[in-house]
Each structure stands twice: as structure tokens, then as C-alpha cells.
Amino acid sequence: MPSLYTEIEIDVPKPQVWRILFQKDRWKYWNTFLYDCDCDRPFTQGQETILSLRRVSGEEPIEFQPIVTLVQQDSCLQWVSTIPGFRNEHVFELQDIGRNRTKYIHQERFSGPLSKMFLPFIRRDEQQGIQRMAWELKHYAERSSQRFRD
């Protein structure tokens, strides 16, 4: 199964990183890859949400409606979006790696007969997008945490 992967260490406790990641209505303050299109619809396991993504700056956003497949408090968020012949699963995982440190992992898994056709066209930009989101999350979380310590 083709996939994309990125990880980053964040100098903030896992519950704090989770709050930032899980509150999609606040993504507009730090996230330039994924956008919340329906602030009234929180991430709820088994429910659809409406999101948009922009792989590269200047690109028109692409709206999609994934189904949230897993919500594990302070630990894991997953969703799946599908079109006929193409399935894309996003997995966001947080791991405690020491005192006040969190490893953020973002994976995308692609399947379906059309994945081999689509993936070569989006792979590089999609990989850059998930890496950009990881860096933005790290920067925002650490900056927010620093304000609380000062």
C-alpha cells in the first residue's frame, strides 16, 4: 500500500499538542495545509467532517468530506476519504517521548485501483504539505507553551 510519512518532536506535553491538533476550528491560526470548512462539526468517530487542503501555496483548495474512523483522546486521530477507485487514510499519532516532549506522526495511506494513477502526480506536493503541517504544529505548540511559561 503506497503511503507518505512524516514525524517531528515537539517540546510540549502530549495533551497540549492534542488540544491544538483536535481543535480544527483553530487550525486557521497555524495550519496552511488543512482547513476546517465546518467549525460547528467537531471530530467525532463515525461522523463525516468537511475539510479542505492546499498542497502548495497559491493552489486552489480541494474540499473533501472524510469519515472520522478513530478518535483516541490525547493519542490518535484517523479519517478516511474515498472516491470511486481511490481511498486515502490520514493517521495522526502522538507519542509521549519524555518529560514535556511529544512525537507527532502523520501518515497517509493510499489504496484502490486509481491510487497508482493519482499518486505520482500528488506525491511530492502532498509530502511537502504534511511536512509543512508538522513544522507549523511544532512552531505553534512551542510558541503557545512558551507564552504560558513566561
| pLDDT tens digits, one per residue of 9-36 | 999 999 999 999 999 999 999 999 999 9
C-alpha dist (Å) from residue 24 to 44, 77, 86, 110, 150: 12, 12, 25, 23, 26
Domain ranges, ordered by start, for the chain: 3-149
Q: What is the pTM of this model?
A: 0.92
Higher pLDDT, 142 or 119: 142
Q: Are 65 and 53 in contact, with CB atoms under 8 Å apart?
A: no
Structure confidence by residue, pLDDT tens digits, 63-97: 999 999 999 999 999 999 999 999 999 999 999 99
Is residue 98 pLDDT above 60, yes or no? yes
Residue 106 neighbours by CB distance under 10 Å: 22
Higher pLDDT, 60 or 75: 75
**Nearest 10 degrees: Cα torsion 135, 105, 23, 45:** 160
Domain 3-149 has CATH 3.30.530.20: yes
Is residue 147 pLDDT above 90, yes or no? no
